[in-house]
Structure 1
Amino acid sequence: MSRPAMIFAAGFGTRMGALTAETPKPMLHVGGKALVDHAIDLAAEAGAAPIVANVHYRADRIAPHLRARGVSVSHETDRLLDTGGGLRRARPLLGDGAAVFTLNADTVFVGANPLIALDRAWRDGMGVLLSVVPLSRARERRGGGDFSLGADGRLTQGGDGRLTQGGDWVYSGAEIIDPAVLDAEPGDAFSLAPVWFRLAREGRLFGAPYPGDWVDVGHPEGLAVANAMVAHV
């Protein structure tokens, strides 16, 4: 089935330093192509429709590019809403309530399309299905793992409830999420992390291992590694 896709492209990219002083991080280039275009291409290849992206920082620089690619724009120019709040605001643009692909615009995948793999693994009753990579293959990851992955595919978190204290698997920045799981969250601005943690306690948070290469492009060193990796494909 075709399902909608949400690309998170609103952040400040402060870890990039001077590189994002004038340019939003999703417009930085890897392999001669803007990071956000890597995400759009993955969504399009997976048959996603519609494709939506949120904007906040330097919206005037990224919104025209998104529209030119046929991507609908969810504006957060008044207030940055984080991932959960951003997805909630974009729901009217995403359609009829079907489970949604989401993608961070600051990771690079080389190999299989993670969204296609997620779509094949999705089952009714799941609240969220995250694409995960083993910490040992999480290129340019800063910090520890996010989750532990059970034999049944369920993800569990670290005992102290913090995203960075969770085991040997790292969230890759791609997921399928049932938008109904957002309904219980109060307020307008919130991260998806507490949603995941609640679903983990309920046994409704699942992981699908990503078999290809992956790079966190959240900092300049990650950008350099991603360019080198893509150049050798």
Structure 2
Amino acid sequence: MRAMILAAGLGTRMRPLTNHCPKPLLPVAGKPLIEYQLERLAALGVKQVVINVSYRAEQIEQALGDGQRWGMAIHYSDEPEALETAGGIIQALGQLDDGQDSPFLLLNGDVWCELPLDRLPRRFDAKGLLLLVDNPDHNPEGDFLLQRGRIVKYADEDYRMSPPRLTFAGISLLRPSLFAGLAPGKRALGPLLHQAAEKGELAGQHYTGFWLDVGTPERLQYLDRRLQHAQSTE
């Protein structure tokens, strides 16, 4: 399986910590956040990883190198101007497509999730599978509705009659065909996923364990304390 880590953001919500350091390299329990992602991918057996970079790209490339220490090959997709999520994927698609429309694993570089990645299904009859979590305080209305393993759309007037929406965890398995016909350029992933959901092209999996969007200094500090405590009790 091939994988991509999204790491090109400016990290504006994380300022001032990101004034001189890109968010993926911010330390958590003594190690850059993105290194935990690479370790998890290596444990899954992933050998080819694409990382899109833009803000302070040279720092990320220098810190991670070619991936040899994790037993994988890291390819960098440089974005002189950040292309947003879908735009970054489209630019890197040539390195993610095996020619058979096999799904690749996509990870946001700033999420922490304790679900073992091998518990994500390798086979599913959809263009993508999204991991969904219970809504955090900063996203109380959620993103998607999940019914019997499928992500579905419902009308606004049906909101009160529907189960609560869930939040996209920033972890997904996506097929290259999801991006077919889309021209390179700046493009967000959210609208594309909602369009696919309207067509019944997305599957979903609900995870109820620990997950965190590490998007602010406060959440970074919380995760740091949690991991340090876990390490001290091992």
For the criterion TM > 0.5, the same-fold answer is yes
Match for residue 203 of structure 2?
206
Q: Which residue of structure 2 aligns with residue 89 of structure 1?
A: 91
Q: What is residue 175 of structure 1 aligned with on the other side?
A: 172
CA 1:61 to 1:119, structure 2 compared with 1: closer, same or farther past 3 Å?
same
| RMSD over aligned Cα atoms | 2.0
- Aligned residue in 1 for 2:77: 74
| Whole-angstrom distance in 2 between the partners of 1:57 and 1:19 | 14
Match of 1:153 in 2: 149
Aligned residue identity for 1:127:
K
- Whichever residue aligns with residue 50 of structure 2, its letter is V
Is 1:7 matched with 2:5?
Answer: yes
Aligned residues: 217
Return the match for 2:20 from 19, 22, 26: 22
Normalising by structure 1, report the TM-score: 0.85
2:106 to 102, 107, 113: 102
- The correspondence for 2:226, drawn from 220, 225, 229, is 229
Quote the Cα distance in structure 1 between the aligned partners of 2:155 and 2:32: 38
Shift of 1:23: 0.4
Change (3 A) 1:26 1:157: farther
Query: 2:55 aligns to what SS in structure 1?
Result: coil
8 Å Cα contact 1:6-1:102 kept in structure 2 = yes
Rg: which structure is higher?
2
* Paired residue type of 1:106: D
What's the CA shift string for 1:159-189, capped at 9, x where partnerless? 46xxxxx943111111000011111434522
The 1:68/1:11 distance shift into structure 2, 3 A limit, reads same
State the alpha-carbon separation in 2 of the partners of residues 89 and 167 from structure 1.
Answer: 34
Q: Residues 182 and 95 of structure 1: is their aligned pair in 2 closer, same or farther, counting only changes over 3 Å?
A: closer
Instruction: Give the counterpart letter for 1:49 in structure 2.
Output: K
Amino acid at match of 2:129: L
SS of the residue corresponding to residue 145 of structure 2 reads strand
Task: Give ranges in structure 1 of 5+ residues lacking alignment.
Answer: 161-165
TM-score (normalised: structure 2): 0.85
Tell me, in whole angstroms, the C-alpha distance in 1 between the residues paired with 2:110 and 2:60.
Answer: 14
Change (3 A) 1:225 1:142: farther
